[in-house]
Amino acid sequence: MSSKSRVTAIDVGNDCVKAIFGKFDHELYIPNVIARDTEDRPVIGIEELNDKDPLDGIHIRVHSPALKENNVIYRVGNLATKSDNPTELDPGSSKSEEDQTLVMLFASLALDAVREENSEIFKKSNNVIDANYTLGTGLPLREVKEGKDVGYRAQLLSSVHQVEFLVTPKYQGLKVNIKFDQVKVYPEGFAAYINLVMDNDLNIINRDLIDKRILIQDIGGLSTDVAVIKNRNVDDDKAQGFNIGVSEALEQIREEIRSKHGVELDSRRDVVDIITRKNDRNHIMVKGSRTSVHDITDRILLELAKKQYRFLRNVWQKNSQTEICYFVGGGSMVLKDYLKTLNNNLDGYNIDFFEDEKESIWMMANAYYKLISDFVRKNNKEQPKPKEKEKQAAAK
């Protein structure tokens, strides 16, 4: 191995990509939006370009045999939301089979690899950086149950993937060759459980939960997974994945705001902002005056919360000895108040939410990080390389 392998955990969420690198020395948060583009997007002055944040100008060409469409140029993240043809993942699509998932994954890795701080780790010749990663990531339970994780992992491991930075601040003209030494693909529901009961070193922090029968309802953008956990394991047969998340509701809200108030919101992200922000929640500006959209958001979100509550009820009925259900994922934050109200008025299940929004959003990435770090630790114990250790000591 020419360069050291850097540990990374990446959660390609339907809404955003969350990535953690190295020894927690870097993290990335990028909206999961891409837009096809041409090579020479107009740029005003290269000096100005380099003053900007690379994350606001991710403009790349991606080359990989794993992609259905190879060698395509994309705007990614914030830059894509501003283009005329942004694509977000569609309801009903499989994360493991979409080019978009891979484009986001490779873009995140390339953005880490080009950082000045990593010049010690990765070899760079001319403008090409060779980067090796050990990756922990995940797929929805439904896809893992269908065995799609096997092909997904094989695609990542089998070849070198190249990201070329085109008109991106600070990184223009650099190419990154990404190779994976190891890839672990975890089911998303299990990851949430790991996070509930263990700290970063996989020490048990939540003794009273560890042997309980738990449901974890993870409400994402496009899908909802309900994991059933007993005896510290996910019961795969009982677990269920539903093809409904919050994205459709957000689209609907966006559509109604447009037809009723004539206000164009750029993306689903803007809708999330309107319904979750601390001040002025559920208000927008219409021709400069503050206007409530509460009637729209309330009706649509309550409808979705009822569907989510039905999922909970169905799974709980089949697992009657469940002791508690945890709601996790970005969608849970959006629906929290509605679900609590429904539960109080209806069945009164023992349910709980993560009050910490950041923790809820980063939960999967944190869990993959714990799992992949543990995997690396165990592997390193099995194969001590004395020469390697001396080298590392000398390097320090």
Distance (Å, whole) CA 384 – CA 324: 43
pLDDT at res. 42: 66
Distances in Å between the alpha carbon of 196 and those of 7, 43, 222, 319?
22, 46, 23, 20
Q: What is the pLDDT of residue 163?
A: 98
What was the pLDDT predicted at 43?
63
Pick the CATH number of 5-187 from 3.30.420.40, 3.90.1150.10, 3.20.20.140, 2.40.50.220: 3.30.420.40
State the Cα torsion 201-202-208-212 to the nearest 10°. Answer: 160
* Per-residue model confidence (pLDDT) at position 2: 46
Closest CA to 36 of 90, 84, 78, 101: 84
Contact 86, 118 (CB under 8 A): no
Residue-level pLDDT at 113: 98
For residue 393, the model assigns a pLDDT of 58
What pLDDT sits at residue 392? 58
Phi, psi of 72, deg, nearest 5? -95, 150
Distance CA 63, CA 354 (A): 39
Phi-psi region of 79 (alpha: psi -120 to 50; beta: other; left: phi over 0): alpha
Low-confidence ranges of the chain (pLDDT < 70): 1-3, 40, 42-47, 92, 355, 383-396
Beta bridge partners of 76: 34, 58
Point out which residues pair with 114 in neighbouring strands.
none
Instruction: State whether residue 380 is helix, strand or coil.
Output: helix
Please report, for the chain, the start and end positions of each structural domain, with discontinuous segments joined by +.
5-187
Query: In whole angstroms, what is the distance from residue 143 CA to residue 193 CA?
Result: 18
Euclidean distance between CA atoms 197 and 224, whole angstroms: 21
Q: Report the pLDDT value the prediction gives residue 238, as an integer from 0 to 100.
A: 82
| Cross-strand partners of 63 | 162
